[in-house]
Amino acid sequence: MPTLVGTKLDKYEIQSEVGHGGMAVVYRGIDTVLSREVAIKVLHPHMAGREESRARLRREAITVAKLRHENILEIYDYSGESEAESYLVTEFIHGMTLREWLDTRWRPRPALAALIIHRLCAALGHAHKSGIVHRDIKPENVMIRSDGCLKLMDFGIAQIIDHQKLTMTGQLLGSPAYMAPELINGKPIDSRTDLFAVGVMLYQWPPASCRSPAATRTRCSRGSPRPSTRGPVSSVRWSTTSSRRSSTAPSRASRSSATRPPTTSSATSSATSRRSASPPPRKRSPPTSPIRTGTSTSSTSASATR
If one counts the domains in the chain, the total is: 2
DSSP 164-222: PPP--TT---S-GGG--HHHHTT----HHHHHHHHHHHHH--STTT-SSHHHHHHHHHH
pTM, full prediction: 0.67
Average pLDDT, the chain: 74
* 101 shares its domain with 213: yes
Residue 165 assigned ligand-binding role: no
More confident residue, 10 or 178: 10
9-23, 36-50, 197-211, 276-290: which range is least confident on average? 276-290
Residues 107 and 218 in one domain: yes
Amino acid at 1: M
Q: What mean pLDDT is predicted for residues 292-296? A: 54
Q: What is the mean pLDDT of residues 43-63?
A: 85
Q: Taking 70 as the threshold, does the pLDDT of residue 182 lie above it?
A: yes
Helix (H, G, I), strand (E, B) or coil at 234: coil
> In the prediction, which pLDDT does 54 show?
87
**Do residues 134 and 19 share a domain?**
no
Catalytic residue positions, numbered: 136
What's the number of CA atoms in the CB half-sphere (13 Å) around residue 237?
Answer: 7
- What is the percent of the chain where pLDDT is above 70? 61
Tell me: the pLDDT tens digits for 73-93? 999 999 988 788 899 999 999
Does 154 reside within a domain?
yes
Q: Which of 91, 124, 152 is the last residue of a domain?
A: 91
CA–CA distance, 154 with 191 (Å, rounded to integer) = 17
Q: Over 70: is that where the pLDDT of 174 sits?
A: no
Whether residues 42 and 105 share a domain: the answer is no
Residue 120 shares a structural domain with residue 197: yes
> Do 72 and 139 belong to one domain?
no
Confidence of residue 221 (pLDDT cuts 50, 70, 90): low
Residue 235 located in a structural domain: no
Query: Phi and psi at residue 218, in whole multiples of 5°?
Result: -65, -45
| Shared-domain flag, residues 78 and 137 | no
| Cα angle 148, 154, 160; round to 5 | 120
Residue 101 belongs to domain with CATH number: 1.10.510.10
Q: What range defines the domain where residue 34 resides?
A: 8-91
Neighbouring CB atoms inside 10 A of 177's CB total 20
- Last residue of a domain, which of 91, 116, 141? 91
Higher pLDDT, 205 or 112: 112
**104 and 69 inside one domain:** no
